[in-house]
Structure 1
């Protein structure tokens, strides 16, 4: 079994103070739990539990290891949550330049922010398409359709009255 899995078994056994209850909680056999703990003790060269026929008690070393294992498992869970969430919802920074009045675009931006809270908007209010590639703008609005910015820009698409284009170089 992997180290993290073994440490997780150790934490459960320390919390329940009973290998049979730990086994039931984890869907394993009691002997698998006992063997996992024994291998961990052998690998570390210390005794983690005082064993009796009815329960197990942590040794001083076991108490110290339990604190460390809880921190490690908590950190791993936070990392998993962060990256699992990242895979599900768009996040990062989006640079946008708009030429239309802010009163017109503000309701759309509010909807966007509610729908994608992990995206940080970097708004720029401009007067034209000059310098969009150099500024690494990913989305632009022009009040009237204008010439293409480059051959790498996809065909403009219309969202209500907004003419936008997103390209490979943005």
Structure 2
């Protein structure tokens, strides 16, 4: 029996979280997958999975062994790709975490064409505004806002968010147009609730080296940009959001810019992944794809 066959089966089972799904991908029976994992556990003398009727989750030993196996398999894939001279990365799955709005408005619309150009790759796209634990949560790469918490990771910079302040024409006809950031205190502002802290994100402006910070006030708030966008387009208040969130509404005339002579930038963004020498060809390809989206920020 080829020991690497059991390891490959274990890795696929860990990625899918279910013996039946792993069996479908590997074109085996669920029983064959279960027996392969059991054989590997017997050989190692440890339990790799917690099992339930519906799903499997890695044990502590399983997490450690999975990380080691994925690193080794990535190295083998990269070596085979180099020796074969094949310009296409090896097929496989990429687990990617990105901020919610960035994923919804920037990554998702471009991802279909990218996958069509790279058949054989699978992407699991997780939208979250928190900093994920790359190792514990088994992410191949992530896009992170602000300072990257782990110095062992490679971080390649994206441009910072460019924020714009917008409102529906109907709202501005009824409530007037703010000419200065100070005027916002007399308007209904649609407030964004930041993940984790629960605090409202402050609106910042810069003009001629003068900085202004506005704490938005208003009866409506949400932790999802899409909700705030819908409210803004419905004339419920003024919104400050990343340019890519409101660009379609601006182009269609559902929104118009206000205070557009004041610069607004957000936290820096970075594409984050494991050490470059350990990154697989498909990870490096995804890194370049994400960096290419920087012109939309």
Bigger strand fraction: 2
TM-score by structure 1 length? Answer: 0.49
> Higher relative contact order at CA 8 Å, sep ≥6: structure 1 or structure 2?
2
TM-score using structure 2 length = 0.28
